[in-house]
Structure 1
Amino acid sequence: MDPIPLVKASLGEQELAAVAEVFASGWQAGQGPKGKALEAALIERYGVGDAVALNNCGSALHLALLELGVKPGDEVIVADYSFPAPAHAVHYVGGVPVFADVRADTGTVDPAAVEALITPRTVGVIAVDTVGLPADYAELTAITDRHGLFLVEDAACAVGATYRGQEAGALAPVACLSFHGRKGITSGEGGALLTADPALAAGARLRSSFGIGSIFDQARVVGLPIPEFTALGYNYKLSDIAAAILLVQLGRIGELLERRRAVAARYAELLADEELVTLPHVPSDRTHAWQSFLLTLDPDVDRAGVAADLRAQGIGCGHGTWASHLQPVYEAKQDCPTSADLFRRQFAVPMHAELTLDQVDRVVASLRVALRAHASTRV
C-alpha cells in the first residue's frame, strides 16, 4: 500500500507560478516587493497595526522579546506543553523562562498556573495555541493587565483558528506565526510578527535586516546613501520567493482548513467508541486549526509499540509535542505534571489537507489493531 505521511504540504501550480514570477523579477532576496505585499496582506487579514515577514516563528519570538525590552534576569512565563521555541527565545535575550502547566483537556496553558508563578521579576507571558488550538486569552489578558505584564501569542500552529470569533494571530498585542512545512499554510520555512504597535514592528523589521533596513529600498534612493548600522541586528529576513508562495497560500486558508476539518471529523466519528484513546477537546468558544490531531492514549498502552506497528505499515505518526520543562537544556525548577503526562501519552496520527477519507479509514483500522496489541490490559 502507498505510505500515508504524518504531514504533507499543499503546494501546487499556483505556488509554482508565483515563484516563476519572482525568478523573472530580478529580486529574490528579502524585504522586496513580494515581502512588502505579504506584510500588507497580513495587516489586512488580521487587522493589526503592522506585520513583519520573517524567516521563521522563532525569529519572530526573539525579535518580539527584544522589542518588548526583556533584560537579563527577567522572568517570562511560558506555556510548558509546546515546541520549545518560546523558552529558547527567552534565553536568547538573557531572560529566565518559567514554565506554566497546562489544562488537561486542551493542552493549552492554565491561566491559574500562570498567575501562581508571577513574581516581582516577572515581565511577561508567552501563551501558545497548542498544535492549533487557541489558549484562554480572556483570562490571560485579565491577568497580564492586572499585573502590568506583556502578553505574546505564539500562534505558530494556529493559522485559521479562532477564539470568541477573533482569529488566532490577533489575540494578544504581539503575535508570532509560523509557515513551516507542517503548518496550515506554508512556504517550507517562514514566519511573521504581528502587532498592534507600529513602532515595535519598525524596530523588529530593522533588527531583522542586520540593523540597516531594506537594501531593496535603499537601492532605489537617488544618489549613493551609505547605510548606517543603528542597531545590533540579525539576518531574519523572509525571501521574496517564500513571500510569493505565502501570498498564494493566504488565499487558500479557508479551502485547506475545511479539508483538515473534514479529516478531524472523520477521526472523531471513527474513534468515538475507542476506549483506549481520548479524542481532542475543543471548547465551544474557539475553533481548531488542526495542525495536528493528537490522541491521548490510555496509560496501559505502549505508545512506542503502537508507533512501530503503524510505521511498519507506512503510516506516519509521532509523539505530539514537548513538555518543555523536562528538556535538559533548561535545567528547569518547575514541575508541570499535566504537561508531563500529556508528553508521555499523546500520539499524533496523520493530519494534513491532502489526506483522503479512505486513508483516514485505513489509519484508524490499523490503529485499533495496534492499540489492542500493545495494551497491557487487553480490551
Structure 2
Amino acid sequence: MTTTQPIPLVHASLGDEELAAVAEVFASGWPAGQGPQGKALEAELAERYGVGGAVATSNCGVALHLALLALGVAPGDEVIVADYTFPAPAHAVHYVGGVPVFADVRADTGTVDPRAVADLVGPRTVGVIAVDTVGLPADYAELRAITERHGLFLVEDAACSVGATYQGVEAGGLAPVACLSFHGRKGATSGEGGALLTADPALAAHARVRSSFGIGSIFDQAKIVGLPIPEFTEIGYNYKLSDIAAAILRVQLRRIGELLERRSAVAARYGELLGDEELLTLPHVPADRTHAWQTYMVTLDPRVDRAALAADLRGQGIGCGHGTWASHLQPVYESKQRCPVSADLFERNFAIPMHAELNMDQVERVADALRGALTTHARPHQG
C-alpha cells in the first residue's frame, strides 16, 4: 500500500553548508551574541543593502522596537501602521507607549494604501511603518513623498520580502530604516532572527547598545588586556542574535538568489495551473516590483467556505492557512477604526504551500486538490 507524503505549507531550506558553519562556531568557543560571526554578518548586511549600519537581532519584532526607540517615539505619539499584516508593527508602537493608527490597504496587492496613510496624518503623527505584505513591497515612492512632506519618519517592515525589489532596489533598502526577519519561513533563515538596517550609523550604534542591555560588546571587552568593566549607558534589552544563528545566516545570504529562483518557479507554475479558476484570484504583482514569495496567497470568491476548504486540504495532507491578519480587528487593540479592504482580505485570503523545497509534482498535486475542493465547498452562484 502506498501513502501520499504530506506537503507542508512552509519548509526551511537548511543543509550541509549551514551545518558546517555551525560546527565552526562550536570550535571557536564563542556561541553567544555579538561575536565574530555576528560582526561579519552585520558587515555583509550593510554591504548588501548599501546602508550605513546593520544590527543583528534575535527577531524582527525586536528590531522594530529598537527602531522606534532610536527614532525617539514618545508616549502618546501616533504612528501610522499598515493594517493587513502580522501585527508586530502595532505591537512595537505599544512597546514605546505610542498609539498605532491603522491604515487600510490596496485591494489588489494587500500593501498599505498611500491615500489611506495621507488621510490619517494628524498633529500627533510622528511616523509611518509600511509593510511588504507576505513578500511584496509597498508603494515607497508615494510613501516617501508623504512622509517627507510632513516631516515624518518612514520604516520599512521587510520581514517577508528578502530578495524582492521595488523600482530596481532590493527590499530592506526602501526606507531610511528597515527591519528584516530570518524566521523559519523566510527567504533567508536561521530559525529565528532579524536585523535593523539604517542609513544612519549613529542610529545603528544606538540600537546595537540597546540590544545588549545597554552595554558594549562583551566579546570586544574580553580582548582587552587587564580588567575592563563594561558600563551600562542605556536601559537596554537582551535582543542579541547568537553567533550560531549568525553563522547560518551568512550562508543563507549567499543562497538568497538560488532559493528565490526556486520559489519564483513555484509561483509561476501555480499561475499556470490556477489562472483560469473562477473561484479564486491569483496574487497581483505590479510591474515596478518583484515578489519574494514568502507566502503564496490567493483570494477566494465570497461563495467559498474557507474553513471547509482548509479542512478538506489538510485532510489530504496539504498545508494551508488563512493568510495574514487585519490587525485592527484583533481584540488586543480594541480599535474603533475601520479598514474595510483589510477586513475583507482577512476573510477571503488563503495561503497554499510555498517554499523552495517544493517540486513541480507537488505543486500540481496542490493545484488539483485545491480545484476539486473549491468546487465542493462553494455555494451555488445566485443568478
Q: Give 1:64-83 correspondences, 5 Å limit.
A: 64-83=67-86
Indicate whether 1:12 and 2:15 are aligned.
yes
Aligned counterpart for 1:294 among listed residues 294, 297, 300: 297
Indicate whether 1:31 and 2:34 are aligned.
yes
Counterpart in the other structure of 1:122: 125
Counterpart in the other structure of 2:232: 229
Counterpart in the other structure of 1:354: 357
SS at structure 1 position matched to 2:207: helix
Q: Give 1:264-343 correspondences, 5 Å limit.
A: 264-343=267-346
Could you state the TM-score of these two structures normalised by the residue count of structure 1? 0.99
2:169 and 2:337 map into 1 onto residues whose CA distance is 32
Counterpart in the other structure of 2:251: 248
SS at structure 1 position matched to 2:162: coil
1:221 and 1:133 map into 2 onto residues whose CA distance is 46
**Residue identity matched to 1:277:** L
**Residue identity matched to 1:26:** G
2:134 and 2:44 map into 1 onto residues whose CA distance is 24
1:158 and 1:224 map into 2 onto residues whose CA distance is 44
Q: Following TM superposition, where does structure 1 have runs of at least 4 consecutive aligned residues deviating by more than 2 angstroms?
A: none
Q: Write the deviation string for residues 297-352 of structure 1: whole angstroms up to 9, x where unpaired.
A: 00000000010000001100000000000001011121000000000000000000
CA contact (8 A) 1:47 1:170 kept: yes
**Residue identity matched to 2:172:** G
Indicate whether 1:132 and 2:135 are aligned.
yes
Name stretches of at least 5 consecutive residues in structure 2 with no aligned partner.
Answer: none
Q: How far 1:378 sits from its partner (Å)?
A: 6.1
1:157 and 1:87 map into 2 onto residues whose CA distance is 16
Name stretches of at least 5 consecutive residues in structure 1 with no aligned partner.
Answer: none
2:275 and 2:31 map into 1 onto residues whose CA distance is 49
SS at structure 2 position matched to 1:77: strand
Aligned counterpart for 1:186 among listed residues 156, 164, 189: 189
CA contact (8 A) 1:29 1:239 kept: yes
2:254 and 2:228 map into 1 onto residues whose CA distance is 38
Counterpart in the other structure of 1:161: 164
Report the identity percentage: 82
**Residue identity matched to 1:318:** G
Q: Write the deviation string for residues 131-164 of structure 1: whole angstroms up to 9, x where unpaired.
A: 0000000000000000000000000000000000
**Residue identity matched to 1:247:** R
Counterpart in the other structure of 1:111: 114
CA contact (8 A) 1:372 1:378 kept: no
2:99 and 2:137 map into 1 onto residues whose CA distance is 24
2:186 and 2:155 map into 1 onto residues whose CA distance is 19
Q: How far 1:225 sits from its partner (Å)?
A: 1.4
**Residue identity matched to 2:22:** V
Q: How far 1:377 sits from its partner (Å)?
A: 1.3
Q: Write the deviation string for residues 260-318 of structure 1: whole angstroms up to 9, x where unpaired.
A: 00000000000011000000000000000000000000000000001000000110000
Q: How far 1:221 sits from its partner (Å)?
A: 1.2
1:224 and 1:136 map into 2 onto residues whose CA distance is 52
SS at structure 1 position matched to 2:307: helix
2:275 and 2:66 map into 1 onto residues whose CA distance is 43
CA contact (8 A) 1:160 1:253 kept: yes
SS at structure 2 position matched to 1:126: strand
SS at structure 1 position matched to 2:332: helix
**Residue identity matched to 1:354:** E
Aligned counterpart for 1:143 among listed residues 143, 146, 153: 146
1:314 and 1:378 map into 2 onto residues whose CA distance is 29
Indicate whether 1:53 and 2:56 are aligned.
yes
Greater displacement, 37-46 / 222-231: 222-231
Q: Provide the aligned C-alpha RMSD in A.
A: 0.7
Q: Write the deviation string for residues 54-94 of structure 1: whole angstroms up to 9, x where unpaired.
A: 00000000000000000000000000000000000000000
Q: What is the total number of aligned residue pairs between the two structures?
A: 379
Counterpart in the other structure of 1:41: 44
2:238 and 2:380 map into 1 onto residues whose CA distance is 53
Counterpart in the other structure of 1:368: 371
Counterpart in the other structure of 1:259: 262
